[in-house]
Structure 1
């Protein structure tokens, strides 16, 4: 895009010009001929830029409850990281299965709904919150996709991400801000599960996002870095289970889950198969057109000097990678989604792994509908 009009006015073309056409650590560069040497250098620099907080030892996992629902054995789990409130999670697998199974780490979305975490992509009872039911109708074709893929023979773990669900910033823990009010569980006369209270919290937490991001930058880390560290802990927990084959683990998710897939699958080779849904474009698209549409959780400062956005997940080449896009997705420019596809196509082709990469485009807005789910599940089945 060369128009003087952009999100940042006539500064747009100048800002875009700061991005090298092919960043120096891109595998697309002619001087990058050795796959292993390139991966080592690119991974090292990307690790430095993401600046994840130090990983801690594997936490103790507590089983809160076990039951059967929807033909699945379900475990409600919890673990305590060295900071913040405990992480809640749910594990699903087909009822009555024996031995080890392939596994999937299901990564929930953002959707401006930080009150909820893993609950957005699972269903554990007929008594489902109306906001969750509505969300699954609009974004997931009326299905809890984690349940649906578990039924195909997978152990599926879904946990609350940093700042979501059980890991959300509790309003009563915050000081120094005098904007907004939120009804919270800290007041005995208020029900936090009331729709109006949840919506008030979601509005407040959306406004709080830039505060968290600035604080993380000042702490020497990034939001993608915190996501990566916590998602890798969940991956540790999943891969250590006796009912899981650690050599057959995949991950995937829509939107914010797609973002987390980009970083986790790009940075951890234990993820043998990845499906990124509704989160693929170029840094150029974000510079000029779409940064206002996106959470502060997207950005790793300085990394664009070394890799374009698609090349983060491209670090996993030659491991199987599927990217699902929507042609009318309001979060991205279609031409830049196509450029991202071209970038990854070139990376996998150069690594002699063209069969391990696919991108698909569907009509419609931002979503992970039933057809997309079937294509994603078939990809998991093929490679896991």
Structure 2
């Protein structure tokens, strides 16, 4: 291409924009400015986007989001919650599955002082959802209940098995997972022993809800089959495939006008429908809790469903700025809600439940987040609870070590649930 032709294409392109009704400069309204790019301050720090990081942050994250309760113009807590919750649901593409499905009970066992039920139910799409319900063996009357939300952990072959069990002997690969993240405990069982009914359901794309290889085109299977998943190497192969498939799943959901958080919320709300409808459950004393991906689900369910009287999010709290500049590469597509950072910070989703009791547990060496932004998220939530006149109902703690929900953290979480759901 000659210089004259390049110039021609350049200027006719700009002229074409001008013909649409205004100059090019008018179309690029502030903060965009092609003539004088911003100078990088001396405090510039390397980030995931390089020189684009400060620019991207400046678009919407340098000030208070438009619907933040931290703004002086928001004074009515309930009115704010109604408005902001509606906006979160709009942005995520809220599903709102109506009607409690038929529950099938497959077996009931007595184990380690508990009664356990293995159940399943059919949602309007996908394979049946498997769940377990645990309660003390000699319990009487209506009990407080907790929806236990299992983690991601890079393992979609497993679901509820990560935190609950109905038998003494569990497969070695389940034991490995529990040892890595839960100090060897099936914490749903440990909580049930304290006098709770605990339900754990397989999340979307995990366990019984995972994408089966036989249901996708053969050229997308990478030579892997669903055959003989009792072998660790086959499970590892599936989990590797499922990790890559997250990109396809997320982009496909976006193409349908929904997001992964919307599916999580809808399916967890169905599980909650099943739990609160039980005759042995006190529907006024319901909690939810989970680590990592379960912590994310706690943020969504606890923040957006008023039936959750007490919420404990573990190992999943930071800011949109942390995701933008530092840590989006350590997370899956399951976190993101398009456009929402303009209106609410990530931590403010959980704060939508104020003044209801809320706990956040973090690890100082958690490589999924930066410590500074975890602490800033704590400041954001505590500020909202303080403005709501309910600071005593919010608690955040930091523990030594990496990403986990160990026994010390479990003890603190269980004590918090006891405080608000039993007393």
Q: Structure 1, residues 56-88: CA drift from partner, whole Å, max 9, x if none?
A: 311000000001112110000000001000000
Q: What is the rounded CA distance, in whole Å, between the counterparts of 1:37 and 1:164 in structure 2?
A: 36
Q: Which of 133, 146, 163 lines up with 2:175 in the alignment?
A: 133
Deviation at 1:183, TM superposition (A): 3.2
- Give every structure 1 segment of 4 or more consecutive aligned residues whose post-TM-superposition deviation is greater than 4 Å: none
Match of 2:58 among 5, 17, 38: 17
Deviations 1:127-169 (A, max 9, x none): 2111110111111011110000000000000000000000000
* SS of structure 1 residue aligned to 2:355: coil
How far residue 176 of structure 1 moved from its aligned partner, in angstroms, is 6.7
The 2-side partners of 1:334 and 1:221 are apart by 31
Residue 196 of structure 2 is matched in structure 1 by 154
TM-score w.r.t. the length of structure 2 is 0.88
The Cα RMSD (Å) is: 1.2
Matched, 1:261 2:298: yes
Aligned match of 1:143: 185
Partner of residue 188, structure 1:
none
Deviation at 1:39, TM superposition (A): 1.1
**Deviations 1:4-23, CA, capped at 9 Å, x for gaps:** 52112211111111224210
Contact 2:147 2:287 in 1 (8 A): yes
In structure 2, the residue matched to 1:166 is 208
Instruction: Give the Cα separation in 1 of the matches to 2:59 and 2:373.
Output: 17
Higher relative contact order structure (alpha carbons within 8 Å, sequence separation ≥ 6): 1
**Residue in structure 2 matched with residue 294 of structure 1 by the alignment:** 331
More displaced, 192-201 or 225-234?
192-201
What number of residue pairs does the alignment pair up?
A: 379
Range that drifts further, 120-129 or 227-236? 120-129
Larger Rg: 2
2:414: which partner in 1? 377
Matches of 1:181 and 1:258, distance apart in 2? 34
| Matched residue, 1:313 | 350
Output one character per residue of 1:21-61: Cα deviation in whole Å (capped at 9) or x when no partner.
Answer: 21010100011111111111111111111212241311000
Matched, 1:77 2:119: yes
Gaps of 5+ in 1: 186-190
Contact 2:120 2:129 in 1 (8 A): yes
Distance change in 2, residues 1:56/1:199 (3 Å): same
List alignment gaps of at least 5 residues for structure 2: 1-40
Q: Give yes or no for the alignment of 1:275 onto 2:305.
A: no
